[in-house]
Amino acid sequence: MSRSERLYFIADFNVETLARYVANTTLADAETALAPPGPIMPALAAGPPGPDWSAVVWTRPETTIEAFRRALTCHEIDLDRALDEVRAYAAAIAQFAARARSVFVPIWVSPPFERGLGMLDYRPGIGQAQLLARMNLALADALRNHPSVFVLDAGRWFASAGSRGWSQKLWYATKSPFTSAVIEHAASDIGAALDGIAGRARRLVMLDLDNVLWGGVVGEVGWTGITLGGHDHVGEAFADFQRALKTLAARGVQLALVSRNDEATALEAIDRHPEMQLRRGDFAGWRINWEDKARNIADLLAELNLGSESAVFVDDSAIERARVRSAIPDVLVPEWPEDPARFREALGSLRCFDSPFLTGEDRTRTTMFAAERSRRSGLVAVASVEEWLESLDIRVTVEPLADGNLDRAAQLFNKTNQMNLATRRLSKPELEVWAAAPEHCLLTFRVCDRFGDSGLTGIVGLRFEGSEAHLVDFLLSCRVMGRHVEEAMLHVAVAQCRARRASTLRAEFRPTARNNPCLDFLRRSGLRAAAAAAENVFIWNASQPYERPRSVTVLDQTGVATALDP
């Protein structure tokens, strides 16, 4: 569920251009507000306009850290004092962040025309550049345990803007030192961060093969004739692009193939070419045939249980790009350079993959999807779906929310769309606070089977009021939907109700554009609709256990489900 963002700006310069850019281009429905002009620390102490506001806190080092200002005028550098000031500044940001949804803090940057002491500028105890680097590291270190605070690499904005990032004339005229080139990069990164926090990051890159992963048409020249790697600048560019894709996959973004080719010929190239950096196991799925690419993309998304707004499509053909843009507008189809030497840069400049966490599940997602392909091939071989499910040896481990699973739980809260009862979007701190309330119970579910570990993929949130329990959250990753894990989660939820002597479990479905699969599940779950007038409310009489699906083993660290309702 998307929602309009509210973004508050605190800066020691005129930050209005950035606020305008964010509100009118990056996040067109965002509400923005500026802190009153004046010193930074009182603005931080005053807090944001409300708890649902995010904030950008952007300052210049010479006005924030007195020891740095003195260093700029060639006074002796006092590193200890500078770092003490940085930590005090970080503490003020942390206190502010406790009252905000999220906070973005660009690192400090010096103007490119400030050469400091030239060749001595990185010498410890002397150089201003060295001091600034230490200050930025100290700032990031001091804020590392505040999960809603994100220190942004502003240095990249200035590097991208080139020599025109900084304008003294603009500073003298408007009290804003940064040109529109830097402001646009800043706004884009902040927008990408907010998208990531809200679960709107893209999770799948679908790639063409010929002249995208390698040079040439494999169907014509065979796998030995394609241009890839070796002592050739074009071949090196393709190999390097593949390496960049592999790195993206290690962040948790899946890769897939959509190509007009003969499948056997294309897969032979992937399997046998010695310079291929990506092999068959790196792809979550593929459609390599002569069908319409838009149809292939839709099929592949259905197979991977992903929505079109999760996907990026990369193709060298402008016609194919236009076709996919027109047929499936939610798929992001970036313009793509003709020169393979620019492919890596084109991929790196996409800001659609930013996530506020990097979990173990992210790093192993490709492995999990390779296992999923093995499962599906098993489905073809056995007689019925139930037999297939029983053959999987599915084990669901129930754990309460804890430090070790908080990152992944918050990520799941903010990324799950389809099997999601209420689509509440909670940040990590918000989730921790909610789960700690005595009337609440929040359980996480890890799923594994004989093919592999799908990781933490389910969450149940319960609120107890007298004899009634409310199923507040019920969400399950699309990657394990349809394997009776949903029923196992209800089994555990009802067991919790019985343990806390609640007589009724009540689930209210809150519809979004994406969560109809959850409603479908509730309708076939055995829970009864509360009344015709409240068709989205479902009830279970908790005097009765909810039967555990036969194909799923529940390993219950809370001890409730297995003890009460084995």
Partner 1 sequence: MMDHDEALRIVYDAIDVVNRQLPASKRLHKSPDTVIVGAGGSLDSLGIVTFVILLEEKVGEAFGTTVQLLDEQMLVEDSPFQSIGALTHYIATRAM
Region of 19-27, 45-53, 532-540, 549-557 interacting with partner 1 (CB under 8 A): 19-27
31 interacts with partner 1 by CB under 8 A: no
Residue 320 and residue 333 in contact, taking contact as beta carbons nearer than 8 Å: no
x-marked contacts with partner 1 along 274-303 as a string, rule CB under 8 A: ------------------------------
The DSSP annotation for 93-136 comes to: HHHHHTTSS-EEEEPP---TT--TTGGGTTSTTT-HHHHHHHHH
Return the sign of the alpha-carbon dihedral for residues 552, 558, 560, 562: positive
* 3-state secondary structure (DSSP) of residue 139: helix
32 interacts with partner 1 by CB under 8 A: no
* Residues whose CB is less than 8 angstroms from the CB of residue 121 and which lie 6 or more positions away in sequence, other chains included: 115, 127, 128, 129, 130
Structure tokens at 334: 């970036």
* Residues whose CB is less than 8 angstroms from the CB of residue 57 and which lie 6 or more positions away in sequence, other chains included: 10, 11, 40, 44, 93, 96, 103, 104, 105
Residue from 6, 11, 13, 14 in contact with partner 1 (CB under 8 A):
14
4 interacts with partner 1 by CB under 8 A: no
* Residues whose CB is less than 8 angstroms from the CB of residue 435 and which lie 6 or more positions away in sequence, other chains included: 400, 401, 441, 442, 461
24 interacts with partner 1 by CB under 8 A: yes
Cβ atoms < 10 Å from Cβ of 340: 24
In angstroms, rounded to a whole number, what is the distance separating the alpha carbons of residues 161 and 475? 42
20 interacts with partner 1 by CB under 8 A: yes
Nearer to partner 1, 171 or 451 (CB): 171
x-marked contacts with partner 1 along 115-154 as a string, rule CB under 8 A: ----------------------------------------
Nearer to partner 1, 16 or 390 (CB): 16
Shortest Cβ 355–partner 1 spacing (Å): 26
Shortest Cβ 164–partner 1 spacing (Å): 6
188 interacts with partner 1 by CB under 8 A: no
21 interacts with partner 1 by CB under 8 A: yes
Spatial CA neighbour of 312 closest among 261, 268, 353, 264: 353
Site for partner 1 in 147-186 (CB under 8 A): 164, 167, 169-170, 173-174, 179-180, 184
Size of the site for partner 1 (CB under 8 A): 17
Shortest Cβ 10–partner 1 spacing (Å): 18
37 interacts with partner 1 by CB under 8 A: no
Shortest Cβ 175–partner 1 spacing (Å): 10
Shortest Cβ 112–partner 1 spacing (Å): 15
Question: For the chain, what is the total number of helices (H) and then of strands (E)?
Answer: 23, 18
- What is the C-alpha end-to-end distance of the chain, expressed in Å? 36
Residue from 16, 240, 299, 468 in contact with partner 1 (CB under 8 A):
16
Question: Could you list the residues that contact partner 1 (CB under 8 A)?
Answer: 14, 16-17, 20-21, 23-25, 164, 167, 169-170, 173-174, 179-180, 184
